[in-house]
C-alpha cells in the first residue's frame, strides 16, 4: 500500500487511515460505513490518483479478494441471471469474480476449478456438472466451496437451490386441474439433480391422478434450445400427441414454441405449455407463459452469505448450510 497517499487522504477528509483503507478495499458497506463517507473518500482517492496495490495486500493478508464461479451455460438465461445477481452481491464486499463457463463438460469444470485453486481464490461458488463430488470435496479441504442450483446426495458440501420437486409437482397438478390428461415433459441434463427432482415431481403428480386417466411421458437430454426443438418435432409428429407440454427450462421452452409455430399450432388451443424457470419476457409473449419461478435473487444472496461466513470463519459449528428454497407458480395464459 502507498501509506503516504492513505495519510494524505486521511488529512484531507478527516477520516482515519483504517476507515479509508476499508472503503478503498471495497469493504465500506461490510463495516457499515455510511454511503456519504464512502462517496467522499472515493472521490478524494480519485482526485489524487490513488491505486491500491491488490497484489501486495493479498500477499500480506493471505487473501486475493477473488471468488471463482462456474456455470454450465452462460447463454442460458437462468444461469446468466444467477451469475449476475451473485456477482453483484459479492462485489459489495470487495470481491472480484473469475467466471468460467463449463459448457456442461466435466473436463472443463476440472480445468476451471484447478485454475481457481492455482490463482489462490478466497472461495468458490459452483453449479456442478460432474457426476461425483469427489474433486470438490478435496478442494473444499483448503478452499471454501458452495454449490448453487445443483447439489449431490450424501455430501457435506453446502448448497443452495430451488425445491425442484415441489415446483414440478405443483406445475403438473396445475395442468391436471385445468383438464389436461396427456402430458409430456421435455427434460434437461439427465444426471443433474434439478432434472432428477423435476422428473420425480412430474411423475408423482401424474401417478396421483392415474385413476382419472392422466398419463405422463418424459424425453430429452439437455437444457438446450435444440433439445426443445427436436423433442417437440418428434412428439408432435406422432399419432398420439400430448395435449400439454412441460418444458423443464427457458431454453427448452423457446425450442418448443418455435417448433409449434412452424407447425402452425396454436397455444393453448391446440396444445398447452408450461415451463420451469422464469423470465421477464414471458409476460410479453403471445400468449404469456405459465411457469415455475425460481427465487434466483434469494438463492444467489444466500449462497454468497454462506461463502462469506466460511471465508471469515464466522460460520457456526453445526449451522445448516444445505437449503432448498420453494419456487412459486406464476400464472399466464399458455395453459
What separation in angstroms does the CA of 328 have from each of 79, 84, 99, 158, 230? 18, 21, 29, 23, 28
Give pLDDT, residue 1: 43
CATH pick for 60-162+296-326 out of 3.40.50.740, 3.40.50.2300, 3.40.50.450, 2.170.150.70: 3.40.50.2300
For residue 212, the Cα-to-chain-centroid distance in whole angstroms is 37
CATH annotation of 3-59: 1.10.260
What Rg value do the Cα atoms of the chain yield, rounded?
24
User: Which CATH architecture describes the domain 164-294?
Assistant: 3-Layer(aba) Sandwich (3.40)
Q: In sequence order, which ranges of the chain are alpha helices (DSSP H)? A: 3-13, 17-24, 35-47, 54-61, 77-91, 106-118, 134-139, 164-177, 193-207, 225-236, 250-262, 296-312
How is 70-124 classified by DSSP, letter by letter? Answer: EES-TTSHHHHHHHHHHHHHHHTTT-EEEEEE-TT-HHHHHHHHHHHHHTT-SEE
Give pLDDT, residue 186: 98
Residues 6+ apart with CB under 8 A from 312: none
* More confident of the two residues 8 and 66: 66
Mean pLDDT of 256-275: 97
Q: Are 143 and 117 in contact (CB under 8 A)?
A: yes
Q: How far apart are CA 275 and CA 187, in angstroms?
A: 11
Grid cell for residue 272: 398447452
Q: Are 231 and 186 in contact (CB under 8 A)?
A: yes
How does pLDDT run across 86-124, given as a tens digit for each residue?
999 999 998 999 999 999 999 999 999 999 999 999 999
Q: Are 180 and 243 in contact (CB under 8 A)?
A: yes
What is the rounded average pLDDT for all residues in the chain?
Answer: 91
Mean pLDDT of 65-69: 96
Where along the chain do its domains lie?
3-59, 60-162+296-326, 164-294
In the chain, the percentage of residues whose pLDDT exceeds 70 is 93
Angle at which helices 77-91 and 296-312 pack, to 10 degrees?
Answer: 40
Q: How far apart are CA 232 and CA 275, in angstroms?
A: 14
Q: How far apart are CA 125 and CA 3, in angstroms?
A: 34
* Domains 3-59 and 60-162+296-326 agree in fold: no
- H or E element: which one contains 325? strand 322-325
The model's confidence at residue 156, banded by pLDDT at 50, 70 and 90, is: very high
Amino acid at each position: 500500500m502507498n501509506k503516504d497517499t492513505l495519510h494524505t487522504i486521511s488529512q484531507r477528509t478527516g477520516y482515519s487511515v483504517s476507515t479509508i483503507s476499508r472503503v478503498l478495499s471495497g469493504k465500506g458497506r461490510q463495516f457499515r460505513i455510511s454511503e456519504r463517507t464512502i462517496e467522499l473518500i472515493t472521490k478524494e482517492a480519485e482526485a489524487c490518483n490513488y491505486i491500491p496495490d491488490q497484489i501486495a495486500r493479498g500477499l500480506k493478508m493471505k487473501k486475493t479478494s477473488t471468488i471463482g464461479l462456474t456455470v454450465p451455460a452462460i447463454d442460458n438465461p437462468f444461469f446468466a441471471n444467477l451469475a449476475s445477481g451473485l456477482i453483484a452481491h459479492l462485489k459489495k464486499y470487495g470481491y472480484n469474480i473469475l467466471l468460467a463457463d463449463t459448457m456442461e463438460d466435466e473436463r472443463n469444470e476440472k480445468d476451471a476449478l484447478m485454475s481457481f485453486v492455482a490463482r489462490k481464490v478466497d472461495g468458490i461458488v459452483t453449479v456442478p456438472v460432474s457426476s461425483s463430488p469427489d474433486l470438490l470435496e478435496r478442494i473444499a479441504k483448503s478452499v471454501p466451496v458452495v454449490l448453487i442450483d445443483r447439489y449431490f446426495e450424501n455430501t457435506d458440501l453446502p448448497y443452495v437451490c430451488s425445491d425442484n420437486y415441489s415446483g414440478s409437482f405443483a406445475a403438473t397438478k396445475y395442468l391436471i386441474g385445468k383438464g389436461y390428461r396427456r402430458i409430456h415433459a421435455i427434460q434437461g441434463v439427465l444426471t443433474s439433480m434439478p432434472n432428477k427432482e423435476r422428473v420425480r415431481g412430474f411423475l408423482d403428480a401424474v401417478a396421483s391422478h392415474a385413476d382419472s386417466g392422466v398419463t405422463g411421458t418424459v424425453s430429452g437430454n439437455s437444457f438446450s434450445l435444440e433439445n426443445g426443438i427436436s423433442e417437440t418435432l418428434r412428439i408432435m409428429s406422432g399419432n398420439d400427441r400430448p395435449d400439454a407440454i412441460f418444458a423443464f427450462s427457458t431454453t427448452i421452452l423457446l425450442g418448443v414454441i418455435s417448433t409449434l409455430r412452424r407447425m402452425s399450432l396454436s397455444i393453448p388451443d391446440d396444445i398447452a405449455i408450461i415451463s420451469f424457470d422464469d423470465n421477464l419476457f414471458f409476460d410479453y409473449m403471445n400468449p404469456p407463459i405459465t411457469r415455475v419461478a425460481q427465487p434466483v435473487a434469494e438463492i444467489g444472496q444466500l449462497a454468497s452469505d454462506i461463502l462469506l461466513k466460511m471465508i471469515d470463519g464466522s460460520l457456526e459449528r453445526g449451522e445448516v448450510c444445505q437449503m432448498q428454497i420453494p419456487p412459486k407458480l406464476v400464472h399466464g395464459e399458455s395453459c
